[in-house]
Amino acid sequence: MSERRVVIVGAGIAGAATAYFLAQRGQRVILLDRERTPGAHSTGRNAAILRTAIPEPALHALAADSRRFYASPPPGFSEIPLFESVGLYLGAAIEAAEDLRAWTARSDCSAGGSEVPPEQLYEAYPQLAHKLALTVHYPTEGAFDVNAILVGFLRGARAAGAEMRFGVEVLELAKRAERVVGVETSEGFVKADEVVIAGGGWAGRLPGAAGWPLGLTPKRRHLLVTAPLPELDPRSPVVWLAGDEFYFRPESGGLLLCACDQDAVEPEQGESLRDEVLERIAEKAARWLPGFDALEAAHYWAGMRTFADDSLFVVGPDPRAPGLHWVAGLGGHGITTGAAVGRLAAEWIAEGWSGHPCAQALLPRVPVSA
Ligand SMILES: Cc1cc2nc3c(=O)[nH]c(=O)nc-3n(C[C@H](O)[C@H](O)[C@H](O)COP(=O)(O)OP(=O)(O)OC[C@H]3O[C@@H](n4cnc5c(N)ncnc54)[C@H](O)[C@@H]3O)c2cc1C
């Protein structure tokens, strides 16, 4: 094992996948999270949808790489499948059909998808309003088992020698002559040769890194799961309605619903609930799913999707601070792309370079004023 110590701040998908691929490369890894349970924030609060049709070439490429990993992970990674290919439909009413057609015709979004008559989707969801002008079907996309993925990364990292300390808050980056040399934590100083910020909604907040702003903004999004619906087939597909921005899929016997809200927030407010958004979900559900007699909320929550100003991920070494790396700003695609992001980050940290086609595009972009 390498003598170099890599400290990773954050045990969501970003930190866990990075720890996994670093440990596989024989790097000495210490993974820290302030929560006692890993994955307690965005990684444990998302919609778990596998959609590789992302209209941004770099992110699409990471999603496609990750899909290959999730489809056939290394032996021992998980006893159960990491996702179910229940299929995904993108749909639009007439007013949004042209935009959706332009999106799904892009080479990175057309792979694996084809335009089908809306009746095909109405058959899968007889309760859906017959208002669609365009329907594109991706039969091999679907829904993740996020817990199995996270556990696979953490277990694999630990088996390869990574150390994990949960319930430990990183308070500040420690620097000597501008080089990062470790972190101050709630349990004392932890020395490091490299520090990786994988703090999700808090990534832009860490004192010591705050002088190197990357423009990371958490945006809050609510999800609601209905009470069980006996008439719903639990293997029904994921549906995403463009224009009105509403998506749903089966979950826990009911439907998981999202109105695609995205309010920029401070991380402290990133998981607090807003009644008006829950009302918006109810309105969209009434508009699009009139065939369900009564949809009752069983539970709901909010979580953060964190974006850089240009909405591209931030993965790689910070040019302003030797020893500092970022794996942040994974927005709404962190699970879908997690395996490839972790592998890319590990390559930068272990080798100091990456030949991955997306590597340069995702390097920390230094704001002009910094
Ligand atoms: C409502 C919603 C729906 C989504 N749907 C999807 C989807 O369908 N498909 C998809 O691919 N993605 C989806 N996402 C996006 C995905 O969840 C995120 O991109 C991903 O989880 C981000 O992972 P992360 O590891 O960067 O952040 P997190 O999972 O939040 O992990 C960051 C960790 O850092 C820790 N931390 C922060 N600061 C410190 C500190 N100072 N000291 C110690 N620990 C610290 C936190 O405790 C936390 O555990 C969705 C997100 C939301 C909110």
Name all residues whose Cβ lies below 6 A of ligand 1: 9-15, 32-35, 40-43, 45-49, 169-170, 198-202, 206, 221, 223, 303-305, 330-336
178 and 54 within one domain: yes
Exposed / middle / buried, residue 171 (Cβ in 10 Å: 0-12, 13-18, 19+): middle
**Mean pLDDT calculated for residue range 121-144:** 97
Asked if 354 contacts 361 with a C-beta cutoff of 8 angstroms, the reply is: no
Q: Residue 94 CB: number of other CB atoms within 10 A?
A: 11
Residues 314, 356: one domain?
yes
Mean pLDDT of 73-90: 97
Q: 78 lies in a domain?
A: no
Give the per-residue pLDDT at 112.
Answer: 86
Q: What is the CATH number of the domain that holds 272?
A: 3.30.9.10
Q: pLDDT confidence of 74, banded at 50, 70, 90?
A: very high
| Residues 222 and 257 placed together within one structural domain of the fold | yes
The Cα–Cα gap between 356 and 340 comes to: 10
Look at ligand 1, atom 35, and give the residue with the nearest C-alpha.
10
CA dihedral sign of residues 330, 335, 336, 341: positive
Phi first, then psi: give them for residue 347, nearest 5 degrees. Answer: -65, -45
- Amino acid residing at 262: Q
Task: Tell me, yes or no, whether 302 and 169 share the same domain.
Answer: no
pLDDT of 37 over the 70 cut: yes
Report how far residue 129's alpha carbon sits from residue 126's, in angstroms, rounded to the nearest whole number: 8
Q: Is residue 70 part of a domain?
A: no
Count structural domains, the chain. Answer: 2
Expressed in angstroms and rounded, the spacing between residue 268 Cα and the centre of ligand 1 is 14
Is residue 250 very low, low, confident or very high in pLDDT (cuts 50, 70, 90)?
very high
What's the pLDDT score for residue 131? Answer: 96
Residues 127 and 228 occupy one common structural domain: yes
Please give the backbone phi and psi of residue 201, each rounded to the nearest 5 degrees, phi first: -65, -20
CA torsion 334→340→343→345, rounded to 10°?
A: -50
Residues 210 and 224 in one domain: no
> What is the pLDDT at residue 366?
76
The pLDDT assigned to 213 comes to 60
112 and 235 share one domain: yes
Report how far ligand 1's centroid is from the alpha carbon of 10 (Å).
9
Residue 156 sits in the same domain as residue 178: yes
* 102 found inside a domain: yes
Q: For residue 46, what is the domain's CATH number?
A: 3.50.50.60
Q: Quick one: pLDDT band at residue 214, thresholds 50, 70, 90? A: confident
Q: Please indicate, yes or no, whether residues 208 and 229 belong to a single structural domain of this protein.
A: no
The answer to whether residue 370 is domain-embedded is no
What's the CA gap between 215 and 308, in Å, rounded?
A: 5
| Percentage of residues in the chain having pLDDT higher than 70 | 98
- The conformation of residue 73, written as its DSSP 8-state character, comes to P
How far away, in angstroms, is 153 Cα from ligand 1 center? 15
Q: Which residue has its alpha carbon closest to ligand 1 atom 18?
A: 334
| CA 310 to centroid of ligand 1, rounded, Å | 18
Instruction: Examine the pLDDT at 132 and tell me if it is beyond 60.
Output: yes
Quick one: 221 and 279 in the same domain? yes
Domain span at 199: 5-59+146-215+309-362
Within this chain, do residues 233 and 284 fall inside the same structural domain, yes or no? yes
Confidence of residue 369 (pLDDT cuts 50, 70, 90): low
Long-range pairs for 95-101: beta carbons < 8 A, 24 or more residues apart: 95/243, 96/242, 96/243, 96/244, 97/133, 97/134, 99/242, 99/243, 100/134, 100/136, 100/242, 100/243, 101/134
pLDDT at 13: 98
Residue at 188 is within a domain? yes
Mean pLDDT of 260-288: 96
> In this structure, are residues 119 and 137 in contact, taking their beta carbons and an 8 Å threshold?
no
User: Do both 283 and 156 map to the same domain?
Assistant: no
103: pLDDT confidence band, cut at 50, 70 and 90?
confident
Which atom, in ligand 1's list, is nearest to the CA of 168?
43
Residue 66 belongs to some domain of the structure:
no
